[in-house]
Structure 1
Amino acid sequence: MKEYASILSKDGLKIATFSNHFRSEKGVMIITHGMGEHSMRYKEMADFYTNEGYTVISFDIRGHGLSEGKRGHTPGYEFLMDDIERVYAQVRADYPSLPIFLFGHSMGGNLVLNFLLRKPNNIRGAIVTGAYLKLGFEPPKWKIILAKLSSSIWPTLSQPTELELDALSRNKEVIRKYENDELVHDRITSAFFVNVHFAGQYAIDHANEIKSPLLVMHGMEDRLTSPTGSQDFASNSGDNVHLKMWNGLYHELHNEPEKQEIFNYEIEWMNKLLN
């Protein structure tokens, strides 16, 4: 992903977008990243899709990477949905005749699933990995109640995410690069947490309303987001959803030692939809 541009959010923030600058005749993939990170961490995956003939577009979520906004904050979930809708609309305008696929990891998976539920779209298919539908360690109820209260009184209150870095991947080089990445942050506001947390359960409860083809994947050894969340989502959904659980793998499937197998599985699923 090389070409940098930006779109303007409805509240005036510049949302950074990136393109592999490849004019595909096959399809377009829009990548939505996870909490605290940024889209350039998906360069290797984007390069793979490019080599398979797809145009790849990614963007940094507000408050992340090169996008503007307080780190790890959103005024409300609808702002996140609107940001994705604006990226999608721009891609649709730029590639009016091509099928569009969505990819979302972790929090990005939460956003992609809710986008399919809440916004009109014409998506050919979507892939979510390690989706934040439930946390790997469910917070006690009193903490959730306190977070809800805080989000209404002091929505911009920022706290560390306390991310367990070793749970990202079994590849130690991935952890080292994450630790030294200046665009990575460890902040989350009370408003951001509450909005995304409850949107995860909303997606599970309304899974059968999504009609687009979906590939839902999760590492069985994921300690950051719960594999049970993806399983519950798939159980509530229709025949359009294909669930693939990966034994022994951690949170970032695309950064695991088996990543080539992951990429091949994804591209085979996408190509079948086009054929």
Structure 2
Amino acid sequence: MRPTRTLFFIARAFSNLSPHLRLPIEGNMHNVYTNDEAMVTAYRTDPLVHDRWPARSLCVFLELGHLLETTPVQFSVPVLVQHGKDDTVTPFETIKKWKEERVKGDDVELKIWPDHMHELHNDVGRINVLNYALEWILKHLDSNQNQQQEH
């Protein structure tokens, strides 16, 4: 859900007046971030998990989200964006649209993972996600080294 102008105003006001004041975050205690039930249980029972963020942090995240939706991003280095298709926090269609409309660069890859959610690194099947990222990094390191040797 996109933040309203009112929410932006409130977040900015509290961010300036009392940056450490903890503001409530809708859904943080109820969202399901991973398809691994053990991780979900651990998250729900962790006493450090809460539904309040410092006003300044909330404001920064809201502003960053707005910038990502409205401003083209030019990457001069290879970039891998991985996202879970079953993510209910940030739908993959939003990320796909962002990549297609806003992301510029010669080597930007979007990898959508079926049956994965918001926290790919905590999902069942996370080893595949991490191995994919590792292989992508190694491929790009090899490619970069070969380019440097040619020059």
- Flag whether TM exceeds 0.5 (same fold): yes
> 2:23 matched to 1:159?
yes
TM-score normalized by the length of structure 2: 0.76
Distance 2:113 2:120 in 1: 9
Distance 1:164 1:222 in 2: 16
Q: 2:41 aligns with which of 176, 190, 195?
A: 176
Q: Is the 8 A contact 1:224 1:251 kept in 2?
A: yes
Distance 2:51 2:66 in 1: 23
Q: 1:207 aligns with which of 49, 67, 73?
A: 73
Residues 158-186 of structure 1, C-alpha deviation per residue, up to 9 Å, x if partnerless? 12334144511121100111233344443
Residues 134-163 of structure 1, C-alpha deviation per residue, up to 9 Å, x if partnerless? xxx223332222222332333222123341
Q: Is the 8 A contact 1:165 1:175 kept in 2?
A: no
Q: Is the 8 A contact 1:207 1:233 kept in 2?
A: no
Distance 1:151 1:229 in 2: 27
Residue correspondences, number? 138
* Identical columns (%): 28
> 2:3 matched to 1:139?
yes
Residues 60-117 of structure 1, C-alpha deviation per residue, up to 9 Å, x if partnerless? xxxxxxxxxxxxxxxxxxxxxxxxxxxxxxxxxxxxxxxxxxxxxxxxxxxxxxxxxx
Give the letter aligned to residue 271 of structure 1. L
Aligned equivalent of 1:262: 129
SS in structure 2 at match of 1:167: coil
SS in structure 1 at match of 2:110: strand
Shift of 1:261: 1.7
Q: Is the 8 A contact 1:217 1:230 kept in 2?
A: no
Unaligned 5+ segments in structure 1 are 1-136
SS in structure 2 at match of 1:202: helix
Shift in CA distance, 183/146, structure 1 to aligned 2, threshold 3 Å: closer
Cα RMSD (Å) = 2.2
TM-score normalized by the length of structure 1: 0.45
Give the letter aligned to residue 23 of structure 2. Q
Matches within 5 A, 1:77-88: none
Structure whose residues are more often strand by fraction: 1
Distance 1:266 1:211 in 2: 19
Aligned equivalent of 1:193: 58
Matches within 5 A, 1:47-86: none
Distance 1:157 1:271 in 2: 43
Distance 1:183 1:164 in 2: 11
